[in-house]
Structure 1
Amino acid sequence: MEIKTLDVEAYLGGSHILKGLSINANKEEFVGIIGPNGSGKSTLLKCIYRTLKPSTGTIFLDGKNIKDLSVKESSKQMAVVSQHNNYNFDFMVSDMVLMGRSPHKKFIEKDNAEDYKIMKESLEKVGMKDYANRSFSTLSGGEKQRIILARALAQKTQCLILDEPTNHLDIKYQLQFMSTVKKLGITIISAIHDLNIAALYCDKIYALKSGKIVSYGTPKEVLTKELINSLYDIDAKVTEDEETGILNVMYKPNI
């Protein structure tokens, strides 16, 4: 699936948050969105997955204007993992994951054997197969995030939107989470806080500052010490592993 935004602008509370953003994620690409707090990363993603309506501009899913699709139709094509997952009601883990099947169901249609099979497979993919009968509210923040990923996987979509998904995970599960997503072979757009994670998993990166795109390209093209200083006002050293070609960002604290 291809996702494209064209000249997207957004105003929130009288503030001009997004200023004409045009991005493109081709089929099966892993696209990262980086930038400091307040740069517009989450706002852009919310416009794409339809919890916010852009003030102007157009969003396309495989060439179709998202405005011409029902929410249910777009939910069959695009799943979301956000950074905040608090619920007023308690659910079993299995029920949480089965919610991912709702775009494929008719009104009040019951879950069937195929739905339960997909639920179990999704939990296994995120390393949580033994948690199906646990209460969601008893899980740690990191465990909850992995269950939310399983729910997204259960939607069986060709696109996944991630809003800083590894914020609550320790290093092991950050890498496990991102590796699981990378292996899906679908289109991924993710806001990413950790630049080393972005370097490791992204095919290309958009860098945002004050609601505008200030750099775009491969991790090697974007993640330079000059760009990092411009975005975050911090000095950094960027090195490349001779064997793997993977970039490593080392920060230099201003003491």
Structure 2
Amino acid sequence: MEVKTLDIEAYLGGSHILKGLSIHAKKKEFVGIIGPNGSGKSTFLKCIYRTLQPSTGAILLDDKNSKDFSMKESARKMAVVSQHNNYNFDFTVSDIVLMGRSPHKKFIEKDNVYDYRIMEESLKKVGMIDYAKRNFSSLSGGEKQRIILARALAQKTECLILDEPTNHLDIKYQLQFMDTVKEIGVTVIAAIHDLNIVALYCDKVYALKAGKIVKVGTPKEVLTTELIKSLYEVDAKIIDDEETGLINIIYKPYYKKI
């Protein structure tokens, strides 16, 4: 699925958070959104997946305005993995993943054999099939995040929206998580803090600062020492790996300057 945003503006609590953001995620493209805390990344994603209404601008899904879709239709097109996933009731892991099937079902329609097969396949993809009967609340933050990805996979959408998806994962599971997302071959729009993860997985990167896009391009084009200094106020060294064609970012600690 192709996703475009056109001049998205958003105000929250009287503050001008987003200032005319226009992006284009082509079909099956992995798009990264980077920027320091407070730059508007999460607010922008919430506008795309419709939990926030932008003040002005438009969001197009395959050139159709998202406002023309019902929320259920939107959920059949976009699945979301956000940072915070807490529930007031003690659901099992399988129950959580089966929630991903709800956009495809009629009101009070029961889960069927097909839904359960998709649930099991989704749990296997994230390496959590042995946790199916566990209570979701008993899991660690990293385990919960993998279950939420499984729920998104069970939704069977053409687009994934990820908001800081690897924050609670150790290195092994960060890479497994992102590998899984990359391999399913859908359009991905992800806000990511870890710039090395951005360099490894993104096809295109939009850099935000104070609610504006300041640079767009491939990871090699965007992730420069100058841009990192401008966005994050840190010094960094960029290593170009000739074997993989990827870049790696090494940060310079402040104490070394003393």
Alignment of 1:253 onto 2:253? yes
Q: Provide the residue aligned with 1:187 in structure 2.
A: 187
Give the partner amino acid of 1:88: N
Task: Report SS of the residue matched to 2:149.
Answer: helix
Q: Extract structure 1 runs of 4+ deviating beyond 4 A.
A: none
TM-score, normalised via structure 2 length: 0.98
**1: CA distance between counterparts of 2:148 and 2:212?**
30
Q: Provide the residue aligned with 1:145 in structure 2.
A: 145
Alignment of 1:84 onto 2:120? no
Q: Provide the residue aligned with 2:218 in structure 1.
A: 218
Task: Report SS of the residue matched to 1:51.
Answer: coil
| Residues 1-12 of structure 1 aligned to structure 2 (within 5 Å) | 1-12=1-12
| Residues 113-132 of structure 1 aligned to structure 2 (within 5 Å) | 113-132=113-132
The runs of 5 or more residues in structure 2 that have no matched partner are none
Q: Provide the residue aligned with 1:65 in structure 2.
A: 65
- Report the CA distance between 1:196 and its aligned residue: 0.1
Alignment of 1:47 onto 2:28? no
**2: CA distance between counterparts of 1:21 and 1:45?**
11
Give the partner amino acid of 1:95: D
TM-score, normalised via structure 1 length: 0.99
**1: CA distance between counterparts of 2:12 and 2:240?**
40
Q: Provide the residue aligned with 2:35 in structure 1.
A: 35
Q: Provide the residue aligned with 2:167 in structure 1.
A: 167
| Residues 201-212 of structure 1 aligned to structure 2 (within 5 Å) | 201-212=201-212
- Report the CA distance between 1:42 and its aligned residue: 0.3
Give the partner amino acid of 2:207: A
| Residues 235-246 of structure 1 aligned to structure 2 (within 5 Å) | 235-246=235-246
Task: Report SS of the residue matched to 1:22.
Answer: strand
Task: Report SS of the residue matched to 2:101.
Answer: helix
- Report the CA distance between 1:231 and its aligned residue: 0.2
| RMSD of Structure 2 on Structure 1 (CA) | 0.4
- Report the CA distance between 1:3 and its aligned residue: 0.4
Q: Provide the residue aligned with 2:178 in structure 1.
A: 178
Q: Deviations over 1:206-249 (max 9, x none)?
A: 00000000000000000000000000001000111011111000
Give the partner amino acid of 1:56: T
State percent identity of aligned pairs.
Answer: 80
Task: Report SS of the residue matched to 1:243.
Answer: coil
Give the partner amino acid of 1:139: L
**2: CA distance between counterparts of 1:242 and 1:190?**
26
Task: Report SS of the residue matched to 1:59.
Answer: strand
Q: Deviations over 1:32-66 (max 9, x none)?
A: 00000000000000000011000000000011000
**2: CA distance between counterparts of 1:60 and 1:70?**
14
**1: CA distance between counterparts of 2:253 and 2:55?**
39
**1: CA distance between counterparts of 2:44 and 2:140?**
28
Task: Report SS of the residue matched to 1:85.
Answer: coil
Q: Deviations over 1:112-167 (max 9, x none)?
A: 00000000000000000111100000000000000000000000000000000000
Q: Deviations over 1:173-213 (max 9, x none)?
A: 00000000000100000000000000000001000000000
- Report the CA distance between 1:253 and its aligned residue: 1.6
**2: CA distance between counterparts of 1:87 and 1:207?**
32
Task: Report SS of the residue matched to 2:80.
Answer: strand
Task: Report SS of the residue matched to 1:238.
Answer: strand
Give the partner amino acid of 1:187: T
- Report the CA distance between 1:254 and its aligned residue: 1.9
